[in-house]
Structure 1
Amino acid sequence: MKKQKYLSHIEQINTVLSILEHRLDKVGWLRIATFLLGIVSIIAGFELKNNFYYMIGILLILGFIGLVKHYNKLKNQKQYETAKKEVVEGYVKRLGQEWLDFKEEGKDYITQDIPRTKDLDLLGKGSLFQYICVGHTPYGKEALAKALVEGAQHEQTSRRQEAIKELLNDEAFALHLQTLSQMIGKNEEGIEIQTMEAFVELAEGEDKKQSIVMKGLALVLPFIVLFSSVLIGIHRQTPITNLLGSLGILVQIGLGAFYYRKHHMVFEPIIKFSQNIKAYEAFLYAIENKEFKCDYLKDLQKSLRDQGGPKKALKGLKQLTEALKVRFNGLGYMIVASTLMWDFHCMDIYYMWHKQYGKSVRRWLKVMGEMEALLSLAVIGEVKEDYVFPQVEETKEPFVNFSQLKHPLIQEQTAVGNALELKNATCIITGSNMSGKTTFLRTIGVNLALAYAGAPVLATSFEAARMEVLTSMRIEDNVNEGISTFYAELLRIKQMITLAELKQPMLVLIDEIFKGTNSADRILGATETIHALEKPWITVMVSTHDFELCELENSSKRESYNYHFTEHYKDNEIQFDYQLQKGRCKTTNAKYLLRMVGIIK
């Protein structure tokens, strides 16, 4: 249903693009013809000494200028519609597997100190970040990564939920913002955090101003050069005026060379940041002028509007950048630098801009980043048919309670939903190979990450305490440090037990515990580990092939439950239903799988 909706939208955009392309061709040729006719008319007026042709030529040149502006307007519209099409096509790709080719993976935000980022596929290739990220600024990507890994604090979760609901209900505005963000990402060189941070740090630096002497020279020297040039032009020059003019040029060249490096250190971050300034301006302007309903979006808007808002500031910065572009024109720069004290006037303009707006730049960019993060977190609601906004409770008792919970990275039509209710308990999950144990643990973990970030989750109902989610799934050895897989897992488990001493609500997810050692040691180690984690503030979920751990249901110090996944055979083929069932598993399939791949006959 949603796929058809998005495909229909793409068709509409293609129609608009076709019209714009036709108009661009038409205006493009008309623009050339008008310019040539204007030149011909002016030449004819000159040759025939006829003012009528002059007038026609001037009118045609004015028409040419108007057509150039109209052409650029149509070109901008085409760029906008193209970006919008790419956004909608992104939704279609998320309905299949093409999203795995998305560029943004979030791998730069992976930290070894938080194992769940890799264990739950929150960041990296094939991750939740890659699936939902629609942000293109470093601040937007960083805000999304932080939301998925750290979640929001306390009431911030519900405030974010309200904001995301409002964005989902206002599809046109959300699409408009995503389109503007997509246009920010059009820069072929990309947008690096270093580029933005260099400008932000420059803007946050202390206020400065040029000395009175330098301000005076910036006025006097160009006047001397201009005055001597006028005298030369009207043939009234004298040796003294010629000398003064020459000295004026030489002094400006010397001052420009002396201060060039200092000026360049200021101008370079401005020019690099301003490569996307039109897109920043449009994005922030859209937020600043929208009428929001929920408090969270209103607060973001208020943060933008404080101290006059970014519109006037970005307009001023854009004008300064246009003036600085002359530095890329060797001959032009030599002329203005040696006659007009160009760099010094630009520095003076920047110092005034900095004093008025410098301290606000980071705040504006963070608002942009937070809005991009909200748009990304809303993606689940944009592409999934069945989702719900979870209830997250601030309680000391760790619990989860959900029904029809699915993994967001599995195609919705093939994903299988499961239900479970656990509260301050231990859950042992058994099952044969490939039956769904690991995926189930990840499904819980990744949906909790979405819930704590304020996003919708894939379930018909979902309640959970705010818990620290600790995982032990993708354990890696380290040859350089002499750490085996088994020892690496021991260190991970030790970290869990240490964190348990904080007595904060925790959910522990351990996949195939201690699989790197022999069965006797594994069962002993797993039993002791589970007992060590059986605290009133911890819920433990462990998947295993060791049926002996199922005996904890009868011998554990607290509530302990057995669940399992199983398989069945049809026409001598193995089949899985991926449905969580109560009790311990009673089947195995290793021999079948060995036979299936040809290892045994």
Structure 2
Amino acid sequence: MSNPLPLGEPGGCREARERYADQLAGIDCELEALTARDTKLGSIRVGIFFLLVIGFGFAITTGHPFWVFVAVAALVAFLVAVVRNESVRSEMEIRQSQSRTLRRLVRRLDRDWQALAADALGKTAATLQLDARQNALAHDLDLVGDASLFQLVSMAATTPGQRTLANWLTRPVDPEVAVQRHHAVKSLAPARQERLQFYTLAREVGSSTGDPDSFVKWAQSPMWLPSRRWLIPWGNLTAALAVAAIAMLVYATMAENRDLSRISLVVLITIAVVNLSIGSLLLGPVAQIFSIAIQSRRSVEDYAELFRSADLLPTAAPESDQEKHTTESIRGTLLGTAADQESAGHAMTELASIAKAGSLKNSAATFLLYLPLQAFGLWDVRVLKRLEGWKERYRRHAEEWFVALGELESLLSLAALADEYPSWASPDWIQASADSPDTETLLSCEQLGHPLLPDQSRVRNDVSIGPAGTLLLVTGSNMSGKSTMLRSVGLNVALAMAGGPVCCRAMRLPPIEMATSIRVSDDLSQGVSFYMAELKRLAAVVDHARELHGNSKVTGESSAAHPRRLLFLLDEILQGTNSRERQIAVARVLGMLVDSGAIGAITTHDLELADEPELARIAHTVHFRETITPDADGDERMTFDYVMRQGVSPTTNALRLLEMVGLGEEGPKPV
């Protein structure tokens, strides 16, 4: 049963860490150079600005052509400096985002859970939308939350990506879908630079006000302009009046007609005041719409590039009975075809041109152009008209685009794990056959490891659960590794279902669903004791097993079109009652599960439970043990090798642990 590997992992993880360190060093050098350029351009901008002020001052007071030339030249130079400086700062933001992305990749490898939780991408609990069954499973197996499988795997930065990945890790799946996901993950693993670019862009999009959830909500909301139709003709009228007034002003200046000049200026000032007042008083919602739909030209272009990343997916997939496999569906939704005018890529290209017009006010280099356009022609209203025309054409597709984006982001997250741990295995899904249905209900893991443990401290064991009609009974003393083994099984099954690699040398598993009772707590607000809370959890596990068994018996297949069995993982159950009643109750619960065709494992440090006749008949018993040796001072020292061995545990350690913390017979007396 056990054949532990030496501590540590093969070189793949070390190579990934070194590669990330080299990339970070290169980015730090580039950031240093860009910071120096930014400082230099900032100084140049200040100098040119002072020259501009001086030039305009002398031009106005003296009217000399030389100072007019100086003022105009200074203005042009200032605009050029601003554009170049903004370009440098934009490049700095990209490098900083890449640095944050690489640091997250490194922290995952180091299992630096505290830093991962502090990262903006670590605060995701409110967006995941898991049901009660998923939440129970996630809590027991550390699938989501701090120091979880989700934190290890996830490079997802958008809400759809985080939500999709969490659902993949906590929800059962047909083997065909899992195989297709894994095929895509293996194909994406070598695309390192492309994945880094995707992670970086997704991080920028996910942290903006135009995140996918907000974008979809806007796309499905009512139009804003139809109830304010007068703004369009008013904008056209004021634009025409402004052009006429400017022409009149030029003519009056050339003709030295001061009265006509005054009239022209009054018209222009009146139009500007009215339109800017409309902008500040009526167009507040428009600014909010822009912040969501076209926050900036770059954010829309980021979306377009994220959608184009679907081209990284493999065009061929493993054979399956499904009409449309996972990667084909994602590619079709995001890329469409050459003639598809409603694909996500085509739509975002259109939106980028609208964003270009809408982002004039967001740049210092173009704000001087935006100001007269808004003052004399209500530029924001014109952009909004184009934006709502886009929305009318594409609104019914927006949600499916981001569902597909979430799936793509989940596959790319899993691909990082596959690239970093090339020694982790591809799960082998098996189907029950008519000739030998029970022999095909065996979950077997060769050199199973706990994926959340640091690589240097992980101990691996061979673990088999099943076939149907049997269970794995894990005995052992406190702290010996029983619960860790259960979670190792559950975490790797979750990885297999999501389509990722598994922390094993080899893994074969049938179509299964998981149910657990590992971390159960009382609920004083509902008046539920610990024992009753545990009974309710066990009842849910039994009901789950019966539900799957009933579907299989009545229809010949489960509701998911595959004959799934329940994999139960139970840790030290029913501790809230006396020993003899506990043994009877545990045997009864396990009998119900086995009779329902479930397979699973249960841990206990109650050695008498292993002798229960009902359990002895169906259980395959293994154990973990401790070793007690004296240290240099003669004090006892307890160590664990976390190696799983055959048979019932020969030792217990509860009293020894009491003595080691000073609570033995010779320990401190009550005051």
Residue 358, structure 1, aligned to residue 395, structure 2: yes
1:568 alignment partner, SS class? strand
Shift of 1:137: 1.5
Residue 407, structure 1, aligned to residue 450, structure 2: yes
Partner of residue 421 from structure 1, selected from 440, 453, 464: 464
The code of the aligned residue for 1:118 comes to H
Residue 146, structure 1, aligned to residue 167, structure 2: yes
Shift of 1:82: 1.9
Moved more, 451-460 or 63-72: 63-72
The code of the aligned residue for 1:586 comes to P
Matched with 1:322 is: 359
Residue 219, structure 1, aligned to residue 256, structure 2: no
Partner of residue 162 from structure 1, selected from 183, 186, 191: 183
Distance 1:305 1:4, change over 3 A: closer
* Separation in structure 1 between the aligned mates of residue 279 and residue 45 of structure 2, nearest angstrom: 40
Shift of 1:149: 1.1
Distance 1:123 1:487, change over 3 A: same
Given that residues 100 and 131 in structure 1 are in contact (C-alpha distance below 8 angstroms), is that contact kept between their aligned partners in structure 2?
A: no
Note the residue ranges of structure 1 that are not aligned, 5 or more in a row: 327-331
Note the residue ranges of structure 2 that are not aligned, 5 or more in a row: 1-13, 253-257, 316-325, 337-341, 364-368, 550-563, 631-635, 667-671
Residue 374, structure 1, aligned to residue 411, structure 2: yes
* Separation in structure 1 between the aligned mates of residue 539 and residue 600 of structure 2, nearest angstrom: 15
Distance 1:39 1:361, change over 3 A: same
Given that residues 380 and 457 in structure 1 are in contact (C-alpha distance below 8 angstroms), is that contact kept between their aligned partners in structure 2?
A: no
Distance 1:277 1:165, change over 3 A: farther
Matched with 1:522 is: 582
Shift of 1:67: 3.3
Shift of 1:587: 0.3
Matched with 2:560 is: none
Matched with 2:654 is: 590
* Separation in structure 2 between the aligned mates of residue 145 and residue 205 of structure 1, nearest angstrom: 27
Shift of 1:419: 0.7
Residue 107, structure 1, aligned to residue 121, structure 2: no
The code of the aligned residue for 2:334 comes to L
Moved more, 291-300 or 18-27: 291-300
* Separation in structure 2 between the aligned mates of residue 517 and residue 400 of structure 1, nearest angstrom: 32
* Separation in structure 1 between the aligned mates of residue 403 and residue 71 of structure 2, nearest angstrom: 51
Which deviations, in whole Å up to 9, do the C-alpha atoms of 1:547-573 show, x marking residues without a partner?
233236x65597420011111122221
Shift of 1:83: 1.9
Matched with 2:150 is: 129
* Separation in structure 2 between the aligned mates of residue 18 and residue 591 of structure 1, nearest angstrom: 60
Given that residues 550 and 562 in structure 1 are in contact (C-alpha distance below 8 angstroms), is that contact kept between their aligned partners in structure 2?
A: yes
Given that residues 178 and 497 in structure 2 are in contact (C-alpha distance below 8 angstroms), is that contact kept between their aligned partners in structure 1?
A: yes
The code of the aligned residue for 2:95 comes to E
Distance 1:67 1:153, change over 3 A: farther
Which deviations, in whole Å up to 9, do the C-alpha atoms of 1:84-129 show, x marking residues without a partner?
2222222332233423332415433354333111000111222222
Sequence identity, in percent?
24
Residue 171, structure 1, aligned to residue 199, structure 2: no
Distance 1:199 1:206, change over 3 A: same
Given that residues 406 and 458 in structure 1 are in contact (C-alpha distance below 8 angstroms), is that contact kept between their aligned partners in structure 2?
A: yes
Distance 1:91 1:255, change over 3 A: closer
Given that residues 132 and 380 in structure 1 are in contact (C-alpha distance below 8 angstroms), is that contact kept between their aligned partners in structure 2?
A: yes
Given that residues 198 and 309 in structure 2 are in contact (C-alpha distance below 8 angstroms), is that contact kept between their aligned partners in structure 1?
A: no
The code of the aligned residue for 1:560 comes to A
Distance 1:536 1:513, change over 3 A: same
- Normalised to the residue count of structure 2, the TM-score between the two structures is 0.77
Given that residues 546 and 596 in structure 2 are in contact (C-alpha distance below 8 angstroms), is that contact kept between their aligned partners in structure 1?
A: no
Shift of 1:314: 3.3
Given that residues 252 and 337 in structure 1 are in contact (C-alpha distance below 8 angstroms), is that contact kept between their aligned partners in structure 2?
A: yes
Moved more, 127-136 or 106-115: 106-115
Shift of 1:450: 0.8
* Separation in structure 2 between the aligned mates of residue 354 and residue 89 of structure 1, nearest angstrom: 37
Distance 1:521 1:280, change over 3 A: farther
Shift of 1:243: 12
Partner of residue 471 from structure 1, selected from 506, 510, 516: 516
The code of the aligned residue for 1:220 comes to L
Given that residues 271 and 324 in structure 1 are in contact (C-alpha distance below 8 angstroms), is that contact kept between their aligned partners in structure 2?
A: no
1:476 alignment partner, SS class? coil
Matched with 2:628 is: 569
Matched with 1:93 is: 107
Matched with 1:197 is: 213
* Separation in structure 2 between the aligned mates of residue 78 and residue 257 of structure 1, nearest angstrom: 33
Shift of 1:197: 3.3
The code of the aligned residue for 1:182 comes to R
Distance 1:313 1:365, change over 3 A: farther
* Separation in structure 2 between the aligned mates of residue 574 and residue 246 of structure 1, nearest angstrom: 87
Shift of 1:353: 2.1
Distance 1:460 1:284, change over 3 A: farther
* Separation in structure 1 between the aligned mates of residue 274 and residue 44 of structure 2, nearest angstrom: 48
* Separation in structure 2 between the aligned mates of residue 199 and residue 513 of structure 1, nearest angstrom: 46
Distance 1:557 1:363, change over 3 A: same
Given that residues 429 and 508 in structure 2 are in contact (C-alpha distance below 8 angstroms), is that contact kept between their aligned partners in structure 1?
A: yes
Residue 482, structure 1, aligned to residue 527, structure 2: yes
The code of the aligned residue for 1:527 comes to A
Matched with 1:442 is: 487
Given that residues 405 and 443 in structure 1 are in contact (C-alpha distance below 8 angstroms), is that contact kept between their aligned partners in structure 2?
A: yes
Given that residues 489 and 514 in structure 1 are in contact (C-alpha distance below 8 angstroms), is that contact kept between their aligned partners in structure 2?
A: yes
**1:486-505, aligned counterparts within 5 Å?**
486-502=531-547, 503=549, 504-505=564-565
Distance 1:57 1:289, change over 3 A: farther
Q: CA RMSD in A?
A: 3.9
* Separation in structure 2 between the aligned mates of residue 560 and residue 378 of structure 1, nearest angstrom: 38
- Normalised to the residue count of structure 1, the TM-score between the two structures is 0.85
Shift of 1:230: 6.2
